[in-house]
Structure 1
Amino acid sequence: MAAKRSGSIDICICTFRRPELADTLRSIAALENPAGFEIGIVVADNDDEPSAQPLVKALAQELKLPIRYRHAPARNISIARNACLDASVSDLVAFIDDDETASPGWLVELVATAEATGATAVLGPVRATYRQDAPDWMRKGDFHSTLPVWVRGEIRTGYTCNVLLRMTEESLRNRRFSLARGQTGGEDTEFFDSVVKSGGRIAFASQAFVDEVVPSSRA
């Protein structure tokens, strides 16, 4: 098992039959890197067959990205997320979804907030982008963007579509996502709820944007 590196960040992406993964990886290749940190990437493929491997291999060569590919089958998102955590060799781990693209300053903003607050986890906002055929009421309501929920001045739970985790914190050490909830949903809510109940703190980096195009099937 590789030794942990404190001056590094692993960006983790769970994927399942999404060609949009290519756009995600291209946005990561264009990131501004936080000063003093080495960046690694882990892609966990949740498909029954390792269908994303050819795309990941090709883009790793084209974009000169240090990607570690893991086949994590069973169509259970928790298996893929746990495979990412198991494959990580860094004290800091960021998660982004395979249908999102990172803004250039995404990682810099997450790290700056983590360092300023000492938080266990730092969430960033997900901006939904609607297609031209989406109805106006949906655009105005912006129902598909993601922001943290504040309760009495605190964030009590979180999400994995835009987050940085400090894996050396006691509340995160050896913690994994629930396999029982990996097919029904709520596994990330339970994960972060448990972190907070174990003494962890969650902060928000308001400028750490990632963007997500809302497909017609979800609209």
Structure 2
Amino acid sequence: MRDVAVLIPTLRRPATLERALRSVFAQVGSLDRIAAVVVADNDPDGSASAVVERLRAEAPVPLIYAHAPVPGVATARNVGLAATDAPLIAFLDDDEAASPGWLAALLQAQAQTGADVLFGPIRGRVPEGTGWTTAYLERFFGRDGPAEPGLTDQIHGCGNSLMVRATALPGDAPFDTAMNETGGEDDRLFTALQARGGRFGWAADAWVDEFAPPDRATLNYALLRAFAYGQSPSQMAAARRDWPGVARWMLIGAAQTAVWGLASLILALLRRPARAEALDRTARGLGKVFWTKGLEPKLYGAAMLRKAA
């Protein structure tokens, strides 16, 4: 029964897209479940079409090209979903490469737990030359979890996940395109699912490697994203008009900023590598305090195209 579509959003990364696709083609024990691999090309110029056409002849499963010319990760995911009617959707980012047992592990964990959304672990890979920040950046771009599969209260990002379409991805465009440049569209989706009583699971053996490109494998970029991650709980509370919740998160953020800001200063004076983690926690604290519209970092979509230009 071919009941799974693998969706890969991409934006001007032909080499890493090919690596991601080939990792899906090399899956063991699950190829007969794949209805299609969908490449959602978020480049207005449609640059990924050449990669898809070149690999289509050797693909062991149907390979679909979907053009999403309006820049933004939420738009790309929505356009990719519209290209398939598969009841299960596996998400893989274009800078990730799946291990051979990746999809089989996600499917097994879903059958075991009955979860609406499954997440898997990620090994962060960074280029050479990142120096004292290497260990921090590998953790930042990676993802850890329990040693065994099961249900979890921990919510992660969309990359390396499996979702039951009927319950986790309602409507024609489940990802909020207002988040196209800031990210966080998956947080908003999962928060709404959680409010509906949805269940989340962990697939301990569904490993992928995430290869951070040189322009992202920097402390500055990681701290900017950490700030954006910190904004999320305050923003989600505001979206629910839970103003006491907003105030609580802002107080938590202020405390985190004070404690970890001081720790960052001390560790910086001592020149300890652990200062990167302390700076990360400080940035997340600041995000909880400074969460309002207009303060979100522009990290995706049109912002990425402007940076590339």
**Is TM-score (shorter-chain normalized) higher than 0.5?**
yes
SS in 2 for 1:133: coil
Q: Is structure 2 residue 15 aligned with structure 1 residue 17?
A: no
CA distance in 1, matches of 2:52, 2:89: 19
> Which structure 2 residues correspond to residues 106-121 of structure 1 after superposition, within 5 A?
106-121=102-117
Stretches of structure 1 that go unaligned for 5 or more consecutive residues are 1-5
1:26 to 3, 12, 22: 22
Does the 8 Å contact 2:152/2:202 carry over to 1? no
Give the letter aligned to residue 178 of structure 2: A
SS in 2 for 1:157: coil
Q: Is structure 2 residue 59 aligned with structure 1 residue 63?
A: yes
> Which structure 2 residues correspond to residues 35-54 of structure 1 after superposition, within 5 A?
37-54=33-50
Q: Is structure 2 residue 126 aligned with structure 1 residue 122?
A: no
Give the letter aligned to residue 69 of structure 2: P
- Of 15-24 and 138-147, more deviation after overlay is shown by 138-147
Q: Displacement, 1:137?
A: 4.2
Q: In the superposition, relative to structure 1, how do residues 36 and 50 fare at CA in structure 2: closer, same or farther (>3 Å)?
A: closer
Match of 1:173 in 2: 170
Match of 1:105 in 2: 101
SS in 1 for 2:90: strand
SS in 2 for 1:180: helix
Q: Displacement, 1:186?
A: 0.9
Q: Displacement, 1:33?
A: 3.3
Does the 8 Å contact 2:6/2:34 carry over to 1? no
Match of 1:199 in 2: 197
**Which of the pair has more CA radius of gyration?**
2
Aligned residues: 210
Q: Is structure 2 residue 142 aligned with structure 1 residue 145?
A: yes
Q: Displacement, 1:218?
A: 1.7
Provide the identity percentage: 35
- Of 20-29 and 175-184, more deviation after overlay is shown by 175-184
Stretches of structure 2 that go unaligned for 5 or more consecutive residues are 218-309
Match of 1:134 in 2: 130
Does the 8 Å contact 1:127/1:145 carry over to 2? yes
Give the letter aligned to residue 7 of structure 2: C
Q: Displacement, 1:62?
A: 2.9
Q: Is structure 2 residue 78 aligned with structure 1 residue 82?
A: yes
CA distance in 2, matches of 1:172, 1:21: 24
Q: Is structure 2 residue 210 aligned with structure 1 residue 215?
A: no
Does the 8 Å contact 1:9/1:38 carry over to 2? yes
Does the 8 Å contact 1:119/1:201 carry over to 2? yes
> What's the C-alpha RMSD, in Å, of the aligned pairs?
2.1
Relative contact order: is structure 1 or structure 2 higher (C-alpha 8 Å, sep ≥ 6)?
A: 1
Does the 8 Å contact 2:120/2:161 carry over to 1? yes
CA distance in 2, matches of 1:173, 1:100: 26
Give TM-score scaled by structure 2 length.
0.63
Q: In the superposition, relative to structure 1, how do residues 214 and 13 fare at CA in structure 2: closer, same or farther (>3 Å)?
A: same
Q: Displacement, 1:129?
A: 1.4
Q: Whose helix proportion is higher, 1 or 2?
A: 2
